[in-house]
Structure 1
Amino acid sequence: MNITLPDRVKLPFEFDAKQLRLNLSCIEELIKQASSLPQNGKQHWRTIDLYHQQTAVQRAPMQSMAVNSSRPSNSYLDSAPYIQAVLNHFKCPIVNVLLAKITAHSSHSQMASVPIDSEHGLARLYIPITANDEVCFVLNSVDVAMQAGECWYLRVSDPYSVMNSSAEDKVHLIIDTRVNLWLATQLKMQ
């Protein structure tokens, strides 16, 4: 389903940021245990695929999970029951799920992603797990003030940048979905 939307839409639901952070800690502990690198207390990952289809988003044709099918599972997701519950909230086909970290005192300038937008029948949803006022996410030259636990559609096929001026890493749960009637209704309600 292809629909036209603004470049950003805050969806009408929020998730428990504390539970998301607890699940993130469990995932980071698994990474620490699996790592053969010396441990210095800080994890150096930037993205973690929690679910990734065989066919990447930027390639066609795209296969996606059917609505109401069993949700994806891997060792990271198995250790994160609340993130699984968040995924089950979405009544639309999930294409990819990942955690993305913007490390402390870092920036990413004028990125433009693959065409993941409602006009192509896809949506990228962001759920901040950690957030603070020193992180600036700019889409089309306008700040998007996202709080932990909120859910946002962002048209990341447009230019965007991220600057983390804080001493803490910022982590988002990112969910790529196909737009179906349920998701279109949620997006259009706003």
Structure 2
Amino acid sequence: METTNITTDRIKLPFNFDVVKMLEETKILQSGNFEYYDVIPLRSPAHLVDTSLPFPPPAEDYADGSWTDWLDTSALNKSPYLTSIVNFFKEHTTVNLVRLLRLAPHATVKEHTDPTLGLEIEKSVIRLTIPILNNENVTFYLNNTPVLMKPGECWYMRLTDPHKVINNGNEERINLTIDIIPNDWIKQVIKESES
């Protein structure tokens, strides 16, 4: 399937997840106070999960995630509902990196691009974003335009374009991000959701 036909930089996908269950499990995994930005890995390169495994050999191209095996972390194994979400995507495609991304109150993620996170890039992964905890003072900007994501929704965004996050609220923002290798299934879902 051609992926260059995708004309928009953001697409809400037809998946919705239980925010209460996601937040409940996320709160259990949190490790106290943090400054600015915190990452809780749920699925990581195998050698980081099981330190008895050797580092993978150097790769010419790390973009598609095939340079290593990926394993569920102990944090994911303690979280049955988050595991069910990851397993849903594993049933349909290859899942690489999965993380909970926490942004502190009154913090900003500066504008940047992720050169390998877009369908238009050959041999890439795409990132699906599922907001868990948000407030009306958090804004995710893609190409200087807000993306109005609600907790529990699932979004594909072309992150090869400039994006930033501003949290002007008094509570943290938490997103679940799932990096997958694009296959015909997810390309079809994205294409059908675009219209």
Q: Give the aligned partner of residue 26 of structure 1.
A: 28
| Structure 2 letter corresponding to 1:17 | V
Tell me the CA shift for residue 185 of structure 1.
Answer: 1.5
Q: Give the aligned partner of residue 47 of structure 1.
A: 39
TM-score when normalising by structure 1: 0.82
Q: How big is the alpha-carbon RMSD for the aligned residues of Structure 1 and Structure 2?
A: 2.4
Tell me the CA shift for residue 109 of structure 1.
Answer: 2.2
Instruction: Check if 1:75 corresponds to 2:77.
Output: no
* Separation (CA, whole Å) in 2 of partners of 1:176 and 1:64: 14
C-alpha spacing 1:86/1:61, structure 2 compared with 1 (3 Å): closer
C-alpha spacing 1:87/1:2, structure 2 compared with 1 (3 Å): farther
Tell me the CA shift for residue 80 of structure 1.
Answer: 0.8
1:42-92 deviation per Cα after TM superposition (whole angstroms, max 9, x unaligned): 344611221123579x725631899xxxx9422101111100101112111
1:10-44 deviation per Cα after TM superposition (whole angstroms, max 9, x unaligned): 0011000000001101211xx35xxxxxxxxx344
Report % sequence identity.
Answer: 30
5+ long unaligned stretches in structure 2: 47-55
C-alpha spacing 1:65/1:179, structure 2 compared with 1 (3 Å): farther
Q: Hey, which bits of structure 1, 4+ residues long, moved more than 6 A?
A: none
* Separation (CA, whole Å) in 1 of partners of 2:86 and 2:2: 22
C-alpha spacing 1:60/1:100, structure 2 compared with 1 (3 Å): closer
Contact 1:128–1:150 under 8 Å retained in 2: yes
C-alpha spacing 1:8/1:73, structure 2 compared with 1 (3 Å): same
Other structure's SS at 1:19 match: helix
Q: Give the aligned partner of residue 149 of structure 2.
A: 146
Other structure's SS at 1:115 match: coil
2:129 paired residue among 126, 131, 134:
126
| Structure 1 letter corresponding to 2:185 | W
C-alpha spacing 1:15/1:65, structure 2 compared with 1 (3 Å): farther
Other structure's SS at 1:63 match: coil
Q: Give the aligned partner of residue 184 of structure 2.
A: 181
C-alpha spacing 1:185/1:127, structure 2 compared with 1 (3 Å): same
Tell me the CA shift for residue 186 of structure 1.
Answer: 1.1
Q: Give the aligned partner of residue 113 of structure 1.
A: 114
Tell me the CA shift for residue 170 of structure 1.
Answer: 0.2
* Separation (CA, whole Å) in 1 of partners of 2:64 and 2:151: 34
5+ long unaligned stretches in structure 1: 33-41
Q: Give the aligned partner of residue 3 of structure 1.
A: 3
TM-score when normalising by structure 2: 0.80
